[in-house]
Every structure is written in C-alpha cells, then in structure tokens.
Structure 1
Amino acid sequence: MDPYILVLVAAGLLILLVAWLPMVLRELPLSLPIFCVVAGFGGFSLVEGFTPDPMRFPVFTEHLTELVVIVALTGAGVKLDRPFSFRNWGATWRLLAVAMPLSILGIALVGHWLLGFGLASALLLGAALAPTDPVLAADVQVGPPGSGEEDEVRFALTAEAGLNDGLSFPFVNLAIAAATLGAGGFREWGTEWLLTDVVWKLAAGLGVGWVVGRGLGWLMFHVPNRAGLARTGDGFLALGITFLAYGITEIAHGYGFLAVFVAAVAVRDTEREHDFHERLHDFSEQIERLLMMVLLVLLGGAVAGGLLAPLTWPDVLAVLIFVFVVRPVAGVVSLLGTTLPWQERATLAFFGIRGLGSFYYLAYAVNETRWDRAEEIWAVMGLTVVLSIALHGVTVTPVMRYLDRRRRPQGVLPLDEQA
C-alpha cells in the first residue's frame, strides 16, 4: 500500500480526534494527553524498523517542541481577562520568584546527590523540569477570553506557565556554559552569562514582545479607515503574532518564549473586550492541540522504542521526588502568607505539570554541547513527563470541580455543566 495514502488516513484520523476527544473525555478522569501517549505506545509497538527516538532526531525534536510551545504561549496570553499589574498577579509572581528557583535547586540537588550527575547535568535537569508546561496545563488554565472562567487558581497557573518557560532559559544556558567551559572557570564566563543571558536576553524578550504586541494591537483594533486587522476575522493572525514576536526577539538575541507570551498579553491589553480575541484564542488552541497530539503520540512511540530503558531504581526514586516532593513543597513555600484558602494553595503547588517544554530545553542543550550520561537524562526526563501526564491528567477534573463547588452558590451549576 502506498505510504502516502497511509499518511493521509492517519492525518485524517488525527484531525478528527483532535476535535472529538476533548468533548468525549470531559466527563472522564482521563485527559487527552494520556490517550495520546497510550495510543502512540500501542501503535509504535506494532511497527518494526522505526522508533521516534529524540536522541536520534535532536534537531527535529527541538524545533517541533519549540513550535508547539510558542503557539501555546500565544493562546495563554490572549485568554487572560485580568489586566496586567504587579498587585493582581501576586500569586503568579510568588510562583515565579520563589517556587521556580526552589524547584530548580531541589531537582538539581537530587540529580547530583542521588543520581550522581555532574554540576552541569544536574543543573540542566533542574532548569528543564522546573517550568510548568503551557501545553499540557490547558486543563487547569483559564477559559476562553471573556468566558468568566478565571478564578485565582486557573489564572495563576496560566500566567505562571506563560512566563516561566522564558525565565528558565538563563539557567539552561548556565548549565550549557558549565558543561562547555567547565565550572572552574565561572569567574571568567560568569559575568558574561549574567550580563548577556540574564540581563540582556530577558530585557530583549520583555521589550520586543511588548512593542510587537502593542503595535499589532493598534493595527488590529485602532487603525483608522476601517482597515484594522481584526476586521478580517481571520484567527490565523495568531500565528502572525507568534512568529513575528518570536523571530524578531531571536534576531535580537533575546528569549523568544518570553516575548511571545508578553506580545499576546499586550495585544489583549490594547482592546480587552473585542470579540476577535476569541477567534485568535480558538485558532491557537486548535493548532496547539493538533501539534500536541502529534508530539505525544511520538512520545508514546519513543517509550515503546526504549526511551526509558536506561532507568535505574535511583532514577525512578528521583522522579517520584521531583513530582511528589520538590514542586509541591516549593509551591507551598512560595504561597506562605497569602490569603488564599489552603485548598487553593495546595492545588497551585501540586499542579506544576511537566511536559513538552522540558523536552525542548533538553533537545536544545543536547544540540549545543556534549553531555555525559545523556541517555539517562533523557530517560529521567521522559519518565517525569509521562508520570506527570498520568497523575495530573487523572486528578485535574475532580480537583478543579471540587474547587468550583466550593466557590459557587448552592444550586448553581458550573459553566461546563450548564449546557
């Protein structure tokens, strides 16, 4: 049979499942990512001669994960109804300023002491696994623009997922520098890392993202003579925001992940109530889901092909510590002193979902320099993501419904049950 025809059939099935499965799985303690990984594992177990191993295709892995993450960041930024302010985003700042550095430190220490990784590899593991994934965290994020589904938990997790991918990059670059130049030469290259990878690249990401977002927002909603881009009604303009902000920032040697989210927030800020935001969000979400399903099916195939084979029992123990101890403890510590109910603080601490962004960082680092025990690092990363997908995918629906019941008046159905 012609392979081209088989690809068309597979693509057709995938597109239909992208639209259908979220509706079918809504009432079950089962998430779309879980289904995709299981389907990929089953499908590739029946195929001989090809394994989608990220270690064999690191450049492809880097660019495909990069694409799905930046599309997800645009969708996350556009759907935030709450205006940007340091006061209104208080829980998010705590998660970013306290929980993420503590997570990086905790994971790196476990990687070094328990697994015996060198300083650079342990730091890479911490930097790659610390961010909350903007793709797989969709079930705990806010609803579409203007839907009203923006309580404190959903908002804080959405904003955290939007910002911490970019903020983790300096630590990934620090790990790469340590692996390439040696930790002993930190005095020589440490200043350059601080000025370039921290100060300049963060500033460029924030600045370019804001300028691009405000400029595109003006073209969409405020340009005179009825020539506004929003009048086209074309949701695929979301990709224009994504690629333009990301590309210009990368040319300026800044952090494109940060710029994409900031640009989306800035576009929303220029005209908060326009219906066109919903079209931008819907298109971003559809493309994100399609790419996510492809990647997770490939992840399942990689697991079937032996991605987790290098794991040892200390590796498994370390992964359990990452998921059940490091992020939850770091999250609880970061929220000490807030007025949030303990149930909401526990939810914010627990749902630090690890996902496709972690694979991007690892693929990026592998393409930059050589790493000792790279196969084991990939295996630890893979098991962490698979465990996070399974654990958080099963628990997210009952936990979020429990919180919704606590908030709403008696007798009022939640939004997803009113239809």
Structure 2
Amino acid sequence: MVLLVVGVVVGLLPLPEGLDLDPVAIGPQIERITELAVLVALMGVGLAIDRPLRLRDRASWARWSPTWRLLAIGMPITIAGVALLGWGLGLAPAAALLLGAALAPTDPVLAGDVQVGGPHVGPAEPKAEGDGEGPPSDAAAPAEGDVDEEEAEAVDEEDDVRFALTSEAGLNDGLAFPFVGASLLIAAGTATSFGSWVGWLAWDLVGKVLIAVVLGTALGWLLGRVAFRSKQPTLRLAEQGEPLLAIAALVMAYGLVQVAHGYGFLGVFACGLTLRAAERGHEYHRSMHDVVQRLERLLTLIILLLLGMGVTNGLLGALDWRGVLVALALVFLIRPVAGVLSLRLRPRSPDLPGGLARKEALAAAFFGVRGVGSLYYLAYAAGHEYFPEERWLWSTVAFAIVVSVVVHGVLATPVMGYLERRRALA
C-alpha cells in the first residue's frame, strides 16, 4: 500500500520527458516486466512450500486438498462469474472472458502477507494425518547441513490457510492461460466450430499443462541431484552455498517449457517445488529462497511505483461505473463465494492436514489477492489480438488491483493474526 501511495504522489509531479505511462502504447514493456516478476515470484513460492507432494501417495494428495479445491472449483467459478458479469454489462464475449481469466488468479507477487514465510529447514510437528500415510519413499542419507531425516520429513506447514493461498498462487497463474487462449480464439473469430473447441480442450487445457508439469518436475529433480549429490565436488552447489542456482533454474525451466510449447509459469513452479523436495532439511533452500525474494521485492517495488504513477496519469481514464462494479463484485462477492463453495463442499476434517475450519475457509476464500499476474495476462492478450475494449479493460483491471491491495492489505495482518491466536488456543 505504501509503494502504491508513493507512486500516486510521484505521478502528480512533472514526469521526465519521454516517459510514457499509456498502457496501450507500452503494452510490450508491461508484458515483459510483469512476466519477469511473476516468474521470480513463482520460483520463490515453489521453494517456500514445505509440504511434500508425492505422486504415488494418496495421503500426500489429500494434504493438498484446499489447493485442488480452489483450482478445480473456485477458479472456474471466478472466471465464469466475472465473465458473465462483464458480458451482462455489455462487453463482447472475448473481452468478457479475457477479463475473467485475467482477474481470476490469486497473485504470487502481491500476496506475501497471506502466504507462507519461506522454507523451514528445522524439525516441525505436523498435525496427525490419521488417513493411512505410509513411510516416505524418497528418504536418503543426510548430507552436510541437513537435519535428521525423520525430522526433515516432519517439516510441514501448520497454517493451512497460508498453505492454501500459497499453493493456489503457485499453480493458478499457469492454469489461467487456457482461458486467456480461449478469449484469443473468440477474438480472432476461429472459435466457430466444435473441432476448434476440442483442440483447445485437448491441447491448451490438458496438453500444455502436462508438458509444463513433466518438464518442470524433471528439471527440478535433475538440478536437485546435481546440487546435493553430484559426484563432482565442484557441482555440489549446496555445499558451496551458491544461491544463484534458483535463478538459473528459473531461466532454464521457463525456456525449456516455452520451447516445448507448454505453460512456462507452471513449469517454473513445478521446478521450484521439486527442487525444494531435494534434501528437504538443508539450509541451502533458505539461501536460494532469500536471493529470489530480494529480486522479487525489487521488481515489486518498480511495478507498484509505476502502477501508482499510472493511476494519476490516465490509467483509470476509461473507468466507468461498470468497471467499478466488476472490481468490487470480484473482491467482495465473486471470489469469496467461489472460495467458500470450493472449500466447504464436503469439507475435509480440520483435524487433518489440508483441512480447514469454517473461519479458516472463509479467510482463504476472501484473500484472493489480485495483482501483477492480471496485468501480464491483459498485456499478453492485447499483444496478440485486437480488443476494442482494451482501454476499458486496462482501467478496470488496474482499479481491481488497487482495491485488492488496499482492502486485503488492511485486513491481512489482523485476520491472519486472529487465526493464529485461535489456532494456538485450540
């Protein structure tokens, strides 16, 4: 909030000659800087999550229950709700769907106050599972800098609200892309046959996601093996404490997945999450996360200052009552209702990891922070197809981000503090 306000004040001053803040004119530049910010944030989120995800362990999948619910139920409802509202207010179908896809994801960049703090590399006691989890299958001898392996496997987030929002932010940026692609198909006039939608379903919604997950996971596993267990001492970067491996992993994962025509955002998160799983208790994870976090904060500072400057230099020029209605409905109605429906439908017991009590579910449903990712999706789509409503879309998305930053920023600390005190007394 402070950065945004500073940007607004700076924007009232005479701007340097040649500095253009018109989003339509500088769309490619907005796309690049927001793309980089989201990528850095996704790597940080992947490295911050302590909760393991083992593909062959049903109990592990169950502990991620709030994530799957928010993605499979909450996100489509949010996209549909915003899109239908926009369509009802007079937007063309392509613009309405783009608006829904851009505003649906919880942002990994600006949601720091409601996310997990970073990788925990010491022992922690998770809640009792009680649903048949077997012993870990990937145990290995501890390396230098590790805690005891049994203690390392016990590392887990006790705060399921923060875990739910963090893991959702890591996955939903990549999963919003198919719907951005669908809006581009409609805008181009090529979504006129049954075959085109079958192709979208098979390739955009399934194929590209699988490519991203497989390649990102494989690269994270390979880098983890090299950094922690390579036979060549010079390649064991964990022993040297060289944290820039996280940046190298980010670039490699994004480039590899993009070349293979998958979703690069999803590939980066999968790479970070898999890299985190290597020698889970090692201090090296904290070092990598710290360097990523510093870069993320620098990019966040730049983007929020520019956003604030844009607010007082015409960015909200096309905003009307329809845009205000969409933004307020998203923050106070659509996202909270979608989140509650997803988390409270046949809920998992709050006594188990991944289970949320009623008030925790309400908090996770409400704190779907909108942010930098929304700017990226809009810039990306506008760079590929023409949308007559583009200026209105920029104003509406920017206003929704400002509302989210203020509302969620004011409420995050007291609400999360209340839940933590309540959990400590339970």
Q: Pick the TM interval, shorter chain.
A: 0.7 to 0.9
Residue 387 (1) aligns with residue 403 (2): yes
Deviations 1:199-257 (A, max 9, x none): 22111111110011000010111112433121231222211111100110000000000
Unpaired runs of at least 5, structure 1: 1-33, 411-419
Instruction: Give the superposition deviation at 1:45.
Output: 1.2
State yes or no: 1:144 paired with 2:118: yes
Give the aligned partner of residue 33 of structure 2: 64
Q: What amino acid is aligned across from residue 187 of structure 1 in structure 2?
A: F
Counterpart AA for 2:367: F
CA distance in 2, matches of 1:244, 1:376: 36
- In the alignment, structure 1 residue 112 sits paired with structure 2 residue 87: yes
Decide whether the 8 Å contact of 1:143 with 1:150 is kept in 2.
Answer: no
The equivalent residue for 2:9 is 42
Q: Does 1:342 align with 2:358?
A: yes
Report runs of 4+ in structure 1 exceeding 3 Å deviation: 48-51, 147-150
Map of 2:322 onto structure 1: 314
Cα pair 2:370 2:404 within 8 Å, conserved:
yes
Give the direction of change, closer, same or farther, for the CA distance of 1:189–1:150 in structure 2 (3 Å limit): same
Give the drift of 1:319.
Answer: 1.3
1:376 Cα deviation from its structure 2 partner: 0.3
**Which residue of the partner structure matches residue 19 of structure 1?**
none
Asked if 1:267 corresponds to 2:284, the answer is no
State the partner residue of 1:126. Answer: 100
Alignment of 1:203-218 (within 5 A): 203-218=210-225
1:142 and 1:150 in contact (8 A); partners too = no
Q: For 1:162-200, what per-residue CA distance to the aligned partner results, in whole angstroms no more than 9, with x for missing partners?
A: 0000111000000011101254x1324222222221222
Three-state SS of the structure 2 residue aligned to 1:372 is: coil
CA distance in 1, matches of 2:108, 2:255: 19
Aligned-residue CA RMSD in angstroms?
1.4
TM-superposed deviation, 1:393? 0.6
Deviates more, 1:127-136 or 1:142-151: 142-151
Paired-residue identity, %: 46
Q: What displacement does 1:309 show?
A: 1.3
Counterpart residue type for residue 63 of structure 2: N
Q: Over residues 290-321 of structure 1, what are the superposed CA-to-partner deviations in whole Å (9 max), with x where a residue is unaligned?
A: 00110010001111111111111122122111
Q: CA deviation at 1:52?
A: 2.1
In the other structure, the counterpart of 2:418 is 402
- Are positions 1:376 and 2:401 aligned together? no
- 1:89 corresponds to which of 61, 64, 87: 64
- Paired residues, number: 375
Q: Say which is worse superposed, 185-194 or 217-226, in terms of deviation.
A: 185-194
Using the alignment, how far apart are the partners of 1:266 and 1:163 within structure 2? 14
State the alpha-carbon separation in 2 of the partners of residues 285 and 220 from structure 1: 20
Letter in 2 for 1:248: L
Report the Cα offset of residue 356 of structure 1.
Answer: 0.2
Residues 20 and 26, structure 2, Cα contact 8 Å, conserved in 1: no
Aligned mates of 2:113, 2:14 — CA distance in 1: 32
- Quote how far apart the aligned CAs of 1:409 are: 4.3
Secondary structure at the residue paired with 1:136?
A: coil
Distance 2:405 2:412 in 1: 10
Question: TM-score, normalised to structure 2's length?
Answer: 0.86
Instruction: State the partner residue of 1:27.
Output: none
**Is the aligned partner of 1:285 residue 2:293?**
yes
Deviations 1:126-178 (A, max 9, x none): 01100000001111111221176641001111000000001110000000111
8 Å CA contact 2:102–2:375 kept in 1: the answer is yes
Number of the residue aligned with 2:23? 54
Shift of 1:372: 1.4
CA distance in 2, matches of 1:361, 1:186: 25
Conservation of the 8 A alpha-carbon contact between 1:81 and 1:150: no
Matches within 5 A, 1:406-417: 406-409=422-425
Match of 2:376 in 1: 360
Query: Partner amino acid for 2:87?
Result: H
Answer yes or no: is the 8 Å Cα contact 1:327–1:349 preserved in 2: yes
Question: 1: distance between equivalents of 2:391 and 2:23?
Answer: 10
Cα deviation code 1:311-335 (max 9, x no counterpart): 1112212211111100000000001
The one-letter amino acid of 1:45's match is L
Which residue matches 1:20? none
